[in-house]
A and B are shown apart, each in its own frame.
Chain A
């Protein structure tokens, strides 16, 4: 018995000693302590490197290539400003800001680029390459919600922050939202909420709409939102027809509109698709028609200056909504337009604006967090309130990572004062009018640690 007791005691001692030594030598990462994040290692941690690499994934071909090209210009300008070159642009107006023009956390910003080809699989492959081979610490870009959602999902899996560029589908910060994804751009719900009252004022309550819709997540989302808000006004929906992205010739979709009895055509198209479908709708005489005793109207819920440029005179008088326009007079917008225009000879598009802002926001969040460690940066961005970036007081809502700010309702300018003055701001819709409950669009953000 005694012997046994002795053995037990020795065994207990050995167990305790082993457990204690394991506990003493265990890495801090085994325990989740907020302020210990900086001590953790993570994918593409720049450590002692003098540079930090960002990955810009934009469509360089396909229906949204024009937006992609402008996004890339904005990213390059943002990198320049972050590294202390140029006039600093919005870094001078952003509040609050810890950006100093010495890179991010003292490391010079470098970048790599990828072509999404406006295709989800190509975009994912490109983002994966940038993360795995080029060491990108953050991915940004987009121009298609299908692409943004696919890349956002990948970034969540890989623990890399995704600062979405132009993506307008509700799903990006709704049912497909992710902890590692953040969207500064507005969404179709906000387009519907801002555009609805203006449509009522301009065209009345008794209208019949016909939707032509790009057949992917963004098109469906926009159709749903515009349908919801116009039907609330009393409008009827005659038909909602899906069209392939990049169709080029939309004549077979437009001719059925002519005798459908509808008196409003809603073009849920973007980029070159919108330019082509609008041009062809005008060529088929839709804007000169009278239906149900009313002038036929065309509505383009998501507008951009680049599209207006492509559509020429056809855009004049047409209503839509936009995230931002270069004609805004606030200090942030003016600083950005001046900087971008000096660099490229053109004012920035809304796609360029959102990408530039996203890059600065990410950099500032790293500075505020004092680390590149993604969960800490995410926590800094969640609920972050800022101003001086062109849309008035803005907040990154913590619950869905959607930015809330003022939205613009615009009209194709009838009397442009310059070659770029293509959109006339009809109304700056205040943030309160477009805000909605986070639970409306569903989805789960997922974990901080992956």
Chain B
């Protein structure tokens, strides 16, 4: 039972990242009809918002380390700690969660610039052309990040208070030895909140209603005199922000590097296809489902029967779903079928 619970949690943790990226991808596709291969780069940009914020607030003064005698060594003490003592140290420690405040406006801006500057010129082009141009854009973004931050992963730790593990076993009446890292639990909850917020926004606001109408029939909404284009720009910015926030919060789990977005992008596209092109609920459900399946496939008991299954399970499921249900789990008729 312990093993099953731990695999479910592990699957939800990875699935949460897949779901958040796939949600943004589906939003962009459902509203703008754009197959955005630069979406993974937005996830990576979010993670680098955390890195940059962390570096800025950790800007340090060098102080001679008297404990080293064989040569002159220096310790780095962040200025915030020098100025504000423990409170300053606390701010530095909470760099990742605090970087969300910076990441939201940055990602909205990036989304708007991307959509207005490039994507809008490709609305009426073929999907193949869209894929080519957004893939090119992703590479440009990657190379810019590589130029400024280097090619190596940059450790971006979670706050000390949540760097340990939670006794989840004791909470649900199982073994006391059953623990799970706090930050990964926070990530699962965080992604749930973001998904809920996006759905609530689309479901309960007038803006969301128009967007949903636009997703169903863009032409008719346009004929009603609604500036659907302006709304779609905002939707693209929201999609970018969702991907960015997913990246910010994932940075303590996977030290960010310039390539991290591409690693997730391919899997997230599979998630979108399995969930059903254009279906927000399908993308979220498929994200979590495939994350959990991948986690169970990595169990030794499974791998001893099917070696290497953990590496291919997601693609295998995608093939089966497409054969049995070509529109994906929750795909709508007519989407991507012209």
Binding site for B on A (CB under 8 A): 60-62, 65-66, 117, 239, 241, 248-249, 251-253, 255-256, 258-260, 272, 275-276, 280, 283-285, 288-290, 310, 334, 337-338, 340-342, 345-347, 417-421
Residues of the B chain whose Cβ atoms lie less than 8 Å from the Cβ of A117: 151
Bound complex: CA of A259 vs CA of B1, how far in Å?
A: 10
Q: Which size bracket describes the interface of B in this complex? A: 35 or more
Question: Contact: B152 with A61, CB < 8 Å?
Answer: yes
Q: Is the CB of B65 within 8 A of A341?
A: no
In the complex formed, the residue of B with least CB distance to A260 is B300
Minimum CB distance partner of A314 in chain B:
B163
A-B contact count (CB 8 A): 106
| A249, A288, A420: residue with the most chain B Cβ atoms closer than 10 Å | A249
B residues in contact with A419, CB < 8 Å = 65, 67-68, 73, 75
Which listed residue, B3, B151, B310, touches A259 by the CB 8 Å rule? B3
Quick one: closest B residue to A66, CB to CB?
B152
Given A241-B300, A419-B68; A251-B75 close (CB under 8 Å) = no
B interface residues, Cβ below 8 angstroms from A:
2-3, 6-7, 10, 13-14, 65, 67-68, 70-75, 150-153, 155, 163-165, 177-181, 183-184, 253-255, 260, 294-295, 298-300, 310
User: Contacts of B184 on A, CB cut-off 8 Å?
Assistant: 251, 283
Q: Is the CB of A345 within 8 A of B71?
A: yes
Other A-B contacts than A283-B163, A285-B165, A420-B73, 18 sampled, CB-CB below 8 A, are: A248-B255, A248-B260, A251-B14, A252-B10, A255-B295, A256-B298, A258-B6, A283-B184, A284-B179, A310-B155, A341-B70, A341-B73, A345-B72, A418-B65, A418-B68, A419-B65, A419-B67, A419-B73
Q: How far is the CA of A276 from the CA of B184 in the complex (A)?
A: 15
- Closest residue of chain A to B255 (Cβ to Cβ) is A248
| Complex CA–CA separation, A258 to B1 (angstroms) | 12
**A248 to B10 Cα, complex, angstroms:** 15
7 contacts between A and B (CB under 8 A): A65-B151, A65-B152, A239-B300, A248-B254, A255-B6, A259-B6, A284-B180
- The answer to whether A252 touches B67 (Cβ under 8 A) is no
What is the CB-to-nearest-CB distance from B265 to chain A, in angstroms, rounded to a whole number?
15
Report A71 CB to chain B, min CB distance, Å: 15
Residue in B72, B181, B294 whose beta carbon sits within 8 Å of that of A252 in the complex: B294
Q: Which of A62, A248, A289, A417 has the largest count of B CB atoms less than 10 A from its CB?
A: A248
Cβ B253 vs Cβ A249 within 8 A: yes
B3 with A258: CB separation less than 8 A: yes
Per the bound structure, the CA–CA distance linking A340 and B72 in Å amounts to 11
Asked if B10 and A338 sit within 8 Å, CB to CB, the answer is no
Contacting residues, chain A, for B298 (C-beta < 8 A): 252-253, 255-256
Residue of B nearest to A69 (CB): B152
A417 cross-chain contacts in B, Cβ below 8 A: 67
What is the CA–CA distance of A417 and B73 in the complex, to the nearest angstrom?
Answer: 13
Q: Which residue of B lies closest to A418 (CB)?
A: B67
Assess the A283–B165 pair: CB atoms within 8 A. Answer: yes
Instruction: Give every chain B residue within 8 A of A418 (Cβ-Cβ).
Output: 65, 67-68, 73
Among the listed B72, B153, B177, B260, which residue makes an inter-chain contact with A342, where contact means beta carbons less than 8 Å apart? B72
> Which residues of chain B come closer than 8 Å to A340, judged between CB atoms?
71
Contact B150 A338 (CB under 8 A): no
Residues of chain A within 8 A (CB-CB) of B152 are 61-62, 65-66, 272
CB neighbours (8 Å) of B310 from chain A are 252
Q: Give Cα distance in the complex from A341 to B72, angstroms.
A: 7
* A210 to B150 alpha-carbon distance, docked (Å): 35
